[in-house]
Amino acid sequence: MKGISLSSVIQVINLEKQSCDIEARAGGQCGQLHFREGTLVDALADGLAGEDAAYEILGWDDPEFDVSTEHSPRDRTIEADLTQMLLEIARRRDEELEESARSAAAQDSVAPHAAPPAPPLVESASGNGRGGAQAEPDIMAEMEAALAEVRVEPEIEAAPEPHGAPGRAPAPPTRGAPPAAAVRSGLSAAGLKRVVQLAKDGLGDALLSADLFSSADGTSYVGVNSRPAVCALVNQVTERLNRAFDKGGLPPLGRYYMAELDGSGLLLVAPCGDLQLVLVVDTGRVQLGLLINVVLPEVLAALEEVSPG
């Protein structure tokens, strides 16, 4: 599978309590993750098994993977909580980044007279990888398909009456972060939940879905009617908008951008440092002025407060 991170797929598996097998590949390595009813029960990777193999696979950078629903019974060899495993993976990655930064700083300090780097070459419009222009139609098609799922009327669970916007039916309750959306160290879980809660309280049942996710890999930390596929695709759209604006000599994206969807839908994305907030709103149930002038400023202030970037 391409265009969606492994962590996003794991979110879906956990949320929907699916039973399936994942075969992942990265740098000549191959491994398997086995899920039963949303729980990671076993893993294999190049001579490793169980928890050790799971840590190995989850630590790979941007692996390719296939998902098979033709699963067979598996004995459970992994007892560790998946949330804690992902937290540990995030901690290790942070340490690796810090070590790389220290090494780079040390190299710079021993070569103070090095010539300044040459100006960067302008990237070709037909480049490869994720920046390739030819991939745009595929990404937009995936985005449309993912958003089509959001347009389905959400199942509204019982929830307390929101503090804001009296008289409007409450939106679906904010889900706790699923295992694959574990909050890495340095982020306030309460602060992240508050951002989404403010949007939910202010918009009521006009809020069809919301996700607060990592700009690093599109992993959703907390959301309402969470849509991991939308997170992954919006993450790519934001990245490409920033790249296109830079090439065109335009200022970078501001606090948010919006896209009108077919019908009465509205997609609102707020990039903020290492985080992005994506809201899908039914404008037939809320006035646009209320969203832009009342709800959004409060939500953005909370987002900027919690964002480490």
Q: Tell me the mean pLDDT in the region 230-251.
A: 90
Strand blocks (E) in 131-256: 207-214, 220-224
Domain boundaries, the chain: 1-99, 133-306
The pLDDT > 90 percentage for the chain reads 33
Q: What are phi and psi of 51, to 5 degrees?
A: -60, -40
CB distance 231 to 211 below 8 Å: yes
Q: Which CA distances in Å does 238 have to 54, 55, 244, 284?
A: 31, 30, 10, 26
Long-range contacts of 254-257 (CB under 8 A, 24+ apart): 255/300, 256/296, 256/300
Q: Is the pTM of this model over 0.75?
A: no
- The CA distance from 230 to 210, in Å, is 10
What pLDDT, on the 0 to 100 scale, is given for residue 35? 92
43-70: per-residue pLDDT in tens?
A: 999 889 999 999 999 888 888 999 988 8
Which DSSP category does 175 fall into? Answer: B
pLDDT above 50 (res 146): yes
**What's the CATH architecture for 133-306?**
2-Layer Sandwich (3.30)
71-109: per-residue pLDDT in tens?
A: 778 889 988 877 777 777 777 877 787 788 888 877 766
Sheet with strand 257-260: strands edge to edge = 220-224, 207-214, 275-282, 265-272, 257-260
What pLDDT, on the 0 to 100 scale, is given for residue 115? 46
CB distance 192 to 204 below 8 Å: no
Q: Tell me the mean pLDDT in the region 12-27.
A: 86
β pairing state of 48-49 and 39-45: antiparallel
What pLDDT, on the 0 to 100 scale, is given for residue 262? 87
Q: Is 100 exposed, middle or buried (0-12, 13-18, 19+ CB in 10 A)?
A: exposed
168-227: per-residue pLDDT in tens?
A: 444 444 444 443 344 444 678 888 999 999 999 999 999 999 999 988 888 888 999 988
